[in-house]
């Protein structure tokens, strides 16, 4: 998928995310709120003999549909690292520095507010994420008035950010591991490796084995979404399928609209609903709310802009082509939009805690993301080149 099509999908998908989140908020605060929560609690079961997967609909969304999202992330990362914008050292220095700083600084701000709360500390990674759909949606408002190099930088930061999130989930949000299930998961990955090695060019075997891997990981205690990311690395990049198209790009192209237009909006609908009737000063001033909101809005911009400024001044790398410092600062602000992944990590961090924790997470994510988006729009609007000058680029 070329960059323009990707941006189109992500931009429109960002609009759907906003709409889904707004609908969830309306339903959660309407006379139909009970029906909304009952819908999310709807039991969904799959049984096969003595084998059973029984979860409420909300967890099928978070564990199942989001595994497809992570599959797409894995496909994008593999393609970009082997044959795309991240395939050379020169291309990865600046977004790499930005991504690391964009994880560390928000986490430090969160820890500052929550260091005395053992349970609250579980959410330290929540403000570390960037929602590429929202970020690109805002970026696209400016059309050709901003250089393409900045879009590529934003995409690259999001890719590294996703890698960081995957590592964090694997290391800090997996527990009670089942050795038997892990063995089955590893065996599944070995079979996927052999399918790749022997150049099997039909997607069906990969899909069947991938489902087994997902179930094994789900039962293992490692978060099930990581299975999607792992499976992606065994899809052949250049091997042509039975339609004479490269397998990985073709699968990526097929998944993009489903993820952008269904999976992520459905996730937002299922997770963004907040009952505002009980929201008061206590919730807004909660260390968790403040840590997330300020981590996203302050930590992201200070970390990304500050560390990249240092790296550029030390001549370790350079500013994206044809961009200004003000435009770069605006993009640093955009990275503070952490909606989807931040909410997702929040569901993992406080999965077994009282509803108040999830409410504080949602408040912090929404406040921090909205503040980042509003200020970013103002900065980018002020930084725009006159239209006739922009076309010279």
Model pLDDT for residues 335-368, shown as the tens digit of each residue: 999 888 898 899 888 887 777 788 899 999 999 9
What average pLDDT does the segment 82-86 reach?
78
pLDDT at 375 over 90: yes
Which residues is 48 bridged to in the sheet?
Answer: 51
Tokens 């996927």, residue located: 192
Distance CA 155, CA 135 (A): 9
What percent of the chain stands above pLDDT 70? 93
What are 160-181's pLDDT values in tens digits? 887 888 888 888 887 667 888 8
pLDDT of residue 9: 53
Residue 336 tokens read as: 């503070």
pLDDT interval class at 391 (50, 70, 90): very low
- Domains of the chain in start order, with CATH, are 3-174+223-390 (1.20.1530.10)
What percent of the chain stands above pLDDT 90? 46
Distance CA 5, CA 342 (A): 25
b/e map of 247-273 (b: 16 or more CB within 10 Å)? bbbbbbbebbeebbeebbbbbbbbbbb
pLDDT of residue 113: 96
Distance CA 352, CA 279 (A): 21
pLDDT of residue 10: 57
What lies within 8 Å, CB to CB, of 390 at 6+ separation is: 144, 145, 146, 384
Radius of gyration for the chain, computed over Cα atoms and rounded to the nearest angstrom: 21
Pairing of strands 43-48, 51-56: antiparallel
What are 133-170's pLDDT values in tens digits? 778 778 877 767 788 888 888 888 888 887 888 888 88
How confident is the prediction for the chain on average, in pLDDT? Answer: 86
What are 254-269's pLDDT values in tens digits? 998 888 889 988 988 9
Distance of CA 204 to the CA centre of its chain: 27
For the entire predicted model, the pTM comes to: 0.78
Distance CA 360, CA 279 (A): 9
What are 53-68's pLDDT values in tens digits? 888 998 899 888 989 9
pLDDT of residue 245: 92
pLDDT of residue 280: 78
pLDDT at 249 over 90: yes
Whether the CB-CB separation of 106 and 303 falls below 8 Å is answered with: yes
3-state secondary structure the chain: CCHHHHHHHHHHHHHHHHHHHHHHHHHHCCCCHHHHHHHHCCEEEEEECCEEEEEEHHHHHHHHHHHHHHHHHHHHHHHHHHHCCCCCHHHHHHHHHHHHHHHHHHHHHHHHHHCCCCCHHHHCCHHHCCCHHHHHHHHHHHHHHCCHHHHHHHHHHHHHHHHHHHHHHHHHCCCCCCHHHHHHHHHHHHHHHHHHHCCCCCHHHHHHHHHHHHHHHHHHCCCCHHHHHHHHCCCCCCCECCCCCEHHHHHHHHHHHHHHHHHHHHHHHHHCCCCHHHCCHHHHCCHHHHHHHHHHHHHHHHHHHHHHHHHHHCCCCCCCCCCCHHHHHHHHHHCCCCHHHHHHHHHHHCCCCCHHHHHHHHHHHHHHHHHHHHHHHHHHHHHCCCHHHHCCC
Tokens 């108040």, residue located: 356
139 or 199: which carries more pLDDT confidence?
199
What average pLDDT does the segment 295-309 reach?
96
pLDDT at 1 over 50: no
């Amino acid at each position: 998928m070329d960059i323009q099509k990707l941006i189109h999908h992500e931009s429109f998908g960002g609009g759907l995310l906003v709409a889904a989140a707004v609908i969830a908020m309306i339903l959660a605060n309407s006379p139909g709120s009970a029906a909304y929560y009952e819908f999310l609690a709807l039991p969904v079961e799959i049984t096969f003999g003595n084998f059973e997967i029984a979860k409420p609909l909300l967890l099928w969304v978070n564990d199942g549909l989001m595994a497809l999202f992570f599959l797409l992330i894995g496909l994008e990362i593999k393609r970009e690292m082997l044959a795309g914008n991240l395939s050379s050292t020169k291309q990865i220095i600046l977004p790499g520095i930005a991504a690391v700083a964009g994880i560390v600084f928000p986490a430090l701000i969160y820890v500052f507010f929550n260091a005395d709360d053992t349970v609250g500390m579980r959410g330290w990674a929540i403000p570390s994420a960037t929602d590429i759909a929202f970020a690109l949606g805002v970026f696209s408002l400016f059309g050709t008035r901003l250089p393409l190099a900045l879009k590529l930088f934003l995409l690259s930061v999001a890719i590294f950010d996703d890698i960081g999130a995957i590592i964090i989930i694997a290391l800090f949000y997996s527990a009670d591991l089942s050795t038997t299930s892990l063995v089955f998961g590893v065996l599944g990955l070995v079979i996927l490796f052999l399918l790749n090695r022997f150049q099997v060019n039909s997607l069906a075997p990969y899909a069947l084995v991938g489902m087994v891997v997902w179930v094994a990981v789900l039962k293992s205690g490692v978060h099930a979404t990581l299975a999607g990311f792992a499976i992606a690395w065994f899809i052949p990049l250049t091997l042509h399928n039975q339609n004479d198209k490269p397998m990985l790009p073709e699968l990526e192209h097929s998944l993009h609209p489903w993820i952008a237009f269904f999976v992520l909006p459905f996730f937002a609908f299922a997770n963004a609903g907040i009952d505002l009737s009980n929201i008061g000063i206590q919730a807004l001033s909660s260390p968790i709310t403040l840590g997330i909101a300020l981590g996203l809005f302050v930590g992201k911009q200070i970390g990304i802009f500050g560390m990249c400024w240092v790296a550029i001044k030390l001549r370790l790398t350079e500013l994206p082509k044809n961009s200004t410092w003000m435009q770069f600062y605006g993009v640093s602000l955009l990275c503070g939009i952490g909606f989807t992944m931040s909410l997702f990590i929040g569901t993992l961090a406080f999965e077994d805690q009282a509803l108040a924790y999830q409410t504080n997470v949602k408040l912090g994510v929404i406040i921090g993301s909205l503040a980042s988006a509003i200020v970013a729009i103002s900065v980018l609007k002020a930084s725009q080149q006159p239209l006739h000058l922009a076309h010279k680029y």
